[in-house]
Amino acid sequence: MSHDRENCSALVDGVVRGDKRALARAISLVESYRPESETLLKVIFAKTGRAYRVGITGPPGAGKSTLASRIARHYGNRGLKVGIIAVDPTSPFTGGALLGDRVRMSDVELDGSVFIRSMASRGSLGGLSVATQDAADVLDAAGFDLILLETVGVGQSELDVVRAADTVIVVLVPESGDSIQAMKAGLMEIADLFVMNKSDRPGADQAATALRTILSLRPNPHSWTPEVLKTTASESQGIDRVCTFIEKHREFQSSNGLLEQRRAARLQEKVKELVIRSLHTEFWNNERRELLEARLPSLCERSTSPYEVVEELLRTFPL
Amino acid sequence: MSHDRENCSALVDGVVRGDKRALARAISLVESYRPESETLLKVIFAKTGRAYRVGITGPPGAGKSTLASRIARHYGNRGLKVGIIAVDPTSPFTGGALLGDRVRMSDVELDGSVFIRSMASRGSLGGLSVATQDAADVLDAAGFDLILLETVGVGQSELDVVRAADTVIVVLVPESGDSIQAMKAGLMEIADLFVMNKSDRPGADQAATALRTILSLRPNPHSWTPEVLKTTASESQGIDRVCTFIEKHREFQSSNGLLEQRRAARLQEKVKELVIRSLHTEFWNNERRELLEARLPSLCERSTSPYEVVEELLRTFPL
């Protein structure tokens, strides 16, 4: 225990110094959900809150990773410390192995100036969103100025990841119907900025115009209308404007208190996700696991419903 | 209360008769998580277990909905009762409205012989998987023979939906890299059958061959090697073979006890998801919500970490 604490304090020192090996180890630790990770996260929490977090999402193939790396390079060139956390299973950062055995690319660096980390989109119970926020906290405590969270914009758990950012960019491509699909997938509600990427393809102007029309018709509770910017990230076209926009959105939110509100909501949400995880772990002790096992035959025979088994289990659980 | 029970018993009667309006109302009820839905689900549970459930998943644009409707028509023509439950935000069944306000298509019927229901991919805490299984239970109790669960194959919550089926079909298209992305997204592990759809496009044979090679190299714990079938669902090409395969897989699993095992695991998983939902709801009473509210300022100032707030909250909670 005290040995653990010593290790942890060495790790914290490494993280705060920005040592890349320590960062990689710390993120692996928070990803593992092991108890030591809590000690680490409690200690570093006081040093977080300075980094600005940008979520980048959109359908597979929209060019999210390319955009992320271009934004990272833009700010890296200006001397900022930038980190990318990728949880997109289709991202080149995230890797993936043949033979069904998932192996993640080890931490790679882009031009040596950007820290890139991929995370597995596994687990449930809000685990993905907690793990990515914890990883972002590690980078935040290490003095990173900008953290980009990249995830594919399909799926509830994945959207929760970017929803926890300070600015959310939704990346689309000009192909017809893409923006309509984005609306269906719940991307419209979370976007602070739309990037119409691959704008060298035909139909980019029409797609951007259609999207602007839709946005102008939408109720706008925060008096912030998301812009639609065209980029060709692979050619580094339009990246400057995207970055200018991120700064504009940051200022807007800082000046009217929205950034604080957003971060408070994120912390509240995180507490709730951690509570769920703890309750789940503590609830399923041996006794309750055995009770469920004992009821399995009657569940399979359909003589007892799952809802009745749940009631029986919860009776052993005073709230 | 007794009024509710009467209503519920009328609804159960309607469901068991297979009345379409009752089915639609019952599914809306289970989707809402209202307490009355539990009463309904407990009563109908005894009548479930007869329907065969097929999960259909894959990347957006792979043609999952078209394949589902063709499979449904195949069995509908043979006199079976078939239902489709679509939770894919990119599915034409699922609909979606302009102006950010999500409206789902009301229940539509294909050729009048197939019941189609779309469900919103909202909520978390395993809610999506519970809701779709509950909806499938409603159709099961109504005497449906085959239930197709369609969901986009990206995202943890969405994969949990199809993982709860008896046979899982992963739909891909010949475009290069698609099968590699499928592996990264965790689709390889859950597939009982691969369908290479849109096989009239160039590269279909090579893509199918590449996929077969990968599969042959994979460890195979269940002595079941997923086949790779080519289809052009929009032209109804290859549908018969897909259906023959579904039946073959069903027989394989029935004969060696795997189907029972799979369904038992599904019921166990469902109990766990319901427990989480209940714990979450009961935990967040007024007292604990106020405690979290009171800790918010120190969270925002970074003087208390979320992990410490969670510990304080859990101390009020004897396990």
Place of tokens 């758990």: A157
At A111, the pLDDT band (50, 70, 90 cuts) reads low
**Does residue B277 belong to any structural domain of this protein?**
no
User: Do B301 and B183 fall within a single domain?
Assistant: no
Tell me the pLDDT tens digit for each residue of B59-70.
777 888 889 999
A196: pLDDT strictly greater than 90? yes
Domain encompassing residue B310: 284-315
The residues facing A116 across adjacent strands are A84, A108
Using a CB-CB cut-off of 8 Å, the residues of chain B touching A103 are none
**Does residue B13 belong to any structural domain of this protein?**
no
B200: pLDDT strictly greater than 90? yes
User: Do B259 and B295 fall within a single domain?
Assistant: no
Does the complex come out with an ipTM higher than 0.90? Answer: no
User: Do B290 and B151 fall within a single domain?
Assistant: no
Tell me the pLDDT tens digit for each residue of A199-239.
999 889 998 998 888 887 776 666 788 899 999 998 999 99
User: Do A180 and A293 fall within a single domain?
Assistant: no
Q: Lowest-confidence range among B139-143, B258-262, B281-285, B289-293?
A: B281-285
User: Do B151 and B300 fall within a single domain?
Assistant: no
* Whether A309 and B42 lie within 8 Å, measured CB to CB: no
**Does residue B20 belong to any structural domain of this protein?**
no
User: pLDDT > 70: what percent of chain A?
Assistant: 82
The count of domains in chain B is 2
DSSP letters of B34-90? -HHHHHHHHHHHTT-S-SEEEEEEESTTS-HHHHHHHHHHHHHHTT--EEEEE--TT
User: Do B238 and B96 fall within a single domain?
Assistant: yes
What pLDDT score was predicted for residue B107?
Answer: 34
The conformational region for residue B271 under phi > 0 = left, psi -120 to 50 = alpha, else beta, is alpha
Using a CB-CB cut-off of 8 Å, the residues of chain A touching B177 are none
A68: amino acid identity, one letter: A
Using a CB-CB cut-off of 8 Å, the residues of chain B touching A45 are 302, 305-307
What pLDDT score was predicted for residue B239?
Answer: 96
Strands (E), B13-61: 52-58
Token pair of B213 as six digits: 């090679």
Provide the angle, in degrees to the nearest 10, between the axes of the packed helices A127-141 and A2-17.
Answer: 70
Residue of A132, A154, A170, A260 best to disrupt the B interface, most CBs of B under 10 A:
A154
* Whether B98 and A305 lie within 8 Å, measured CB to CB: no
Mean pLDDT of chain B: 84
What pLDDT score was predicted for residue B101?
Answer: 25
Q: Lowest-confidence range among A188-192, A199-203, B234-238?
A: A188-192
Q: Find the residue in A nearest to B125 (Cα).
A: A125
Tell me the pLDDT tens digit for each residue of A45-76.
999 999 999 999 987 778 888 899 999 999 99
The pTM score is 0.81
* Whether A264 and B296 lie within 8 Å, measured CB to CB: yes
What pLDDT score was predicted for residue B215?
Answer: 81
CATH code, domain carrying B214: 3.40.50.300
Tell me the pLDDT tens digit for each residue of A240-290.
999 999 999 999 999 999 999 999 999 999 999 899 888 988 899 999 999
Start-to-end CA span in chain A (Å): 31
Tell me the pLDDT tens digit for each residue of A113-146.
788 888 876 554 557 788 899 999 999 999 999 9
